[in-house]
Chain A
Amino acid sequence: MGLLSLGAILEGPSKEKLMAILSTAIETIMGLYTDDSRKVRETVAWFFSKVAQNHPEMIGNETVFPVLYNLI
């Protein structure tokens, strides 16, 4: 999976372009939080920490925040 690579490029490109990509991918990525593999779940958590660092508004919105909150 390329989540590591996507997480690595969250700083650098323009917000608009990243938002366009993230908004389509974020649901799929949240789905991976319940993956059987611990490594995958770890990567998802790491990915959201990167999103929170660079694009906090993405995490704070109405669709993403409740899901993340429930997962903790």
Chain B
Amino acid sequence: MPLDDAAAVAQARGGDQDAFRVLVDRHSRSIYRLAYRMTGKPEDAEDVVQETFVRAYRQLGRFESRSNFATWLYRIGFNCAIDYMRARPKRESSETHDVLDQMTHETSAPSMDDLVYAGEIGERVQAALNELSAQERAAFLMRHYQGCSIEEICKALDLKSNAAKHSIFRAVKKMRVALKPLMHARLERV
């Protein structure tokens, strides 16, 4: 019978690395998705996944057993991704602008199906995410994809409530601007 998270954590705390591997196998893909959305690059996302688990292993002693391991891990993952992005000299912003501009010019009202299947929505969303600061990106992703409350976001990212809200506001507004051309395509189809 497979170990549940709580049992795996308890054994890993005692130095059982096989038990920790159970946690890595179980959660690495979801952390990868988070990391990919944060960093926008597969290789960077893998680095963040690796660091997230290494940091989690080192901090297992701080994990409260009544908490949800996945939530705790997500929090570490977001902070790892923020650290990674802040450490990385900012150079891709202008490239992302170019990508968004290019996409905007290229959008000549293709069908929604075409857009979905071509993965353009994904690319455009990712390009828009790349335009956000690390903090805005993390706050938005935590709220939108993980369903975290403002309070949880504040705790995880060490932000005040207003700062967390404004990060989300800015993120959504930038997302609306970036996705506007696709919205038009969608409305024309409807």
Query: Do these two chains interact?
Result: no
